[in-house]
Each structure stands twice: as C-alpha cells, then as structure tokens.
Amino acid sequence: MTKTTDQAVLDDWYAIATASELTARPVRTKLLGQDIDYHLGEGRAPVVRELLDDGSHGPELPVQVRYGCLFTTLGRPNKDIVHIDEAGERDRRFVPCGWVTMRASGLRVVENFLDMAHFPFVHTDILGSEPHTEVPHYLSEIRRDVDEVWATNCTFFQPRIAATEDKGDFVHLTYRVPSPFVVMLYRVCPTSPNRLDAIALFIQPMEEGLCRAQPVMYLVDSVSPHKVLLNFEQVIFLQDRIIVENQRPLLLPLEPRAEIPTRADSSSIAYRRWLKEKGVRFGTTAGAR
C-alpha cells in the first residue's frame, strides 16, 4: 500500500514506538501506508525518516517524545499531541501496557474502546456480567471549542472496577476522543473517589486495515505490583482484539444506516459524524486512494 493522500489524517501526530526501547539500530515500520524507520541519532536524539521507493531516505520527520512514546507526523499538524493533565501528577503510577497489532482499521479500535455494551459479553466477570447488560443513558457531544468527541455521565456495573478491587460496583466513566486515532477513558478511582484514573490508547494506523495500539495508564494506586496492573489491562485488550479483528467490514463505515445503531451507540454516532465532518477517509469504507 502506498502512502495515503488523506490530508485529514496526514496532519496529525502518531505514536510509533516505545521511547525507552529506541536504539541506534533503525527499526522499520509503516504509518498511513508509508514505510518509515526510526532510531537514535547523534546525541541520542530520535530520528524518523520516510523510506522512498528507491531504498533511500527522505528528510527527517518531526518528532516528539511524550507519555513514554515516540510520536511523529507525515504532515503539518494544526494542533499538538493530546494534553493529559494526569501525566504531570507525581504520585500517579505510569503503566505503559505494550503494543498490540490488530488486523483491523484503527478507527474500529477506537469505536470498540467507546463501546460499553460489549463489556458483559467480551469481558465477562471483569468489566461486565449478566444480568447487568443495559447501558444507562449517557451524553455524547462534539466539543467544537477543542475539536474533540466526549461521552460523559457514563455508568456501568463492573464485577472488577480496577486491579485493586475484587468486588463489583457501578463505575462512573468519561470518554474523550482528542484525535481520530487516540481515545481516552477517565474513571473514578476506587481508592481515591475525588480523583480520576486516566487511560489513553495511542493507535499507529499502519495500513487501512492494519494497526498497532499502545494503552498507557496514569493510575492512583500505590499498592498493586506493576505486573498486576499490566496483566489486568492486557487481558482486557487481548479480549478486545478478537472482537475487533472479526468485525466486518474491517474498515469503518461512515455512511448513514450502513450499520444500525442502538441507544447505547451514542458515542459511536458522534465519533463517526465527527470523522465525516473532518473528511477522514483512511481506514473507512470510503477509502483513501
């Protein structure tokens, strides 16, 4: 696949690697259909370059290191990487959960992240369970002042609301989509009810139907071993991968009525409308060619 011409996605920032794992040896990957590689250059500064058809390298691409990840862009972003306030709070646990590759559109992955209705059936006895299958009414909106999608006032019964808990309760959740391939979840922290845990999912869209994703968590938890926190999130994400990879079509439809929504799909409806307004084609059934 060749590099997309979809300017709506070219002009954005993408996490492509774990910053702590960078070495002087170039690593090859793909971003939006374009072959690129990355490594540590002189002075141990990260370098990212396009790989051209003749095997040569293009000019260095813009880079930033943030939230434990190396970010780059193939275009000229008109806004910065998402700002996560919780990342600056020193008492939080920072838990990068590792990259997971999925044979699906990265937009499908975002939409699955927003979907509470699958909790009892996919994440049984962790994020949901029968008979608690109903998604209570919540609010979804496109916030024009910041150009983001938000879903607020979300509640759902979860048998395990966090790695620290072994009892079920109704959790309070807020979802945020700051850019097409980044989605965040804020949840009331069970050990500190006046604070929110923050979980971000950074997606690297390699091809239209192929992506990698890295969950990153900023938690208020001074008790749980790192391995317990990591395993809790990885189990959930690997369960999601099975569902996402089996959705058809692999790409996300934006056409009205292409897939029949329910009341629980309010956030998905807002997300698709937002993508369509932006003119996003990469990773959708409209195609990016």
Q: What is the mean pLDDT of the chain?
A: 84
- pLDDT reading at 287 higher than 70: no
- pLDDT reading at 128 higher than 70: no
Taking each helix axis as running N to C, give the angle between helix 106-114 and helix 266-278, from 0 to 180 degrees, rounded to the nearest 10.
150
Residue 168 pLDDT: 63
Based on its alpha-carbon atoms, the radius of gyration of the chain, rounded to whole angstroms, reads: 19
- pLDDT reading at 152 higher than 70: yes
For the chain, the first-to-last Cα distance in angstroms comes to 10
Other beta carbons within 10 angstroms of residue 263's beta carbon come to 12
Give burial (CB, 10 Å; 0-12/13-18/19+) of 133. Answer: middle
Residue 217 pLDDT: 92
Digit-coded pLDDT (tens) for 194-229: 889 999 999 999 999 999 999 999 998 878 888 888
Residue 131 pLDDT: 53
Residue 224 pLDDT: 82
CB 59 within 8 A of CB 74: no
Digit-coded pLDDT (tens) for 6-55: 999 999 999 999 999 999 999 999 999 999 999 998 888 999 999 998 88
Residue 124 pLDDT: 44
Residue corresponding to tokens 């040569």: 56
Residue 54 pLDDT: 85
Of 3.40.50.720, 2.20.25.680, 3.40.50.300, 3.40.50.970, the CATH number of 7-72 is 2.20.25.680
Residue 215 pLDDT: 92
Sequence spans of domains, the chain: 7-72, 92-278
- pLDDT reading at 123 higher than 90: no
Q: Which residue has the higher pLDDT, 133 or 27?
A: 27
Digit-coded pLDDT (tens) for 239-282: 777 777 878 788 999 876 655 555 447 788 899 999 999 999 99
For the CA atoms of 236, 237, 238, 241, the dihedral, rounded to the nearest 10 degrees, stands at 130
DSSP designation for 130? T
Residue 125 pLDDT: 44
As assigned by CATH, the class of the 92-278 domain is: alpha beta
- pLDDT reading at 121 higher than 50: no
3-state secondary structure of 88: helix
Could you give the C-alpha distances from 190 to 49, 135, 176, in angstroms and in order? 44, 21, 20
Tokens of 207: 């091809």
Digit-coded pLDDT (tens) for 165-185: 566 666 788 999 999 999 999
The answer to whether the predicted template modeling score (pTM) of the entire model surpasses 0.85 is yes
Give burial (CB, 10 Å; 0-12/13-18/19+) of 280. Answer: buried
Tokens of 249: 């079509």
Picking from 134, 139, 123, the residue whose alpha carbon sits closest to that of residue 170 is 134
Residue spans of alpha helices (H) in 70-156: 106-114, 119-122
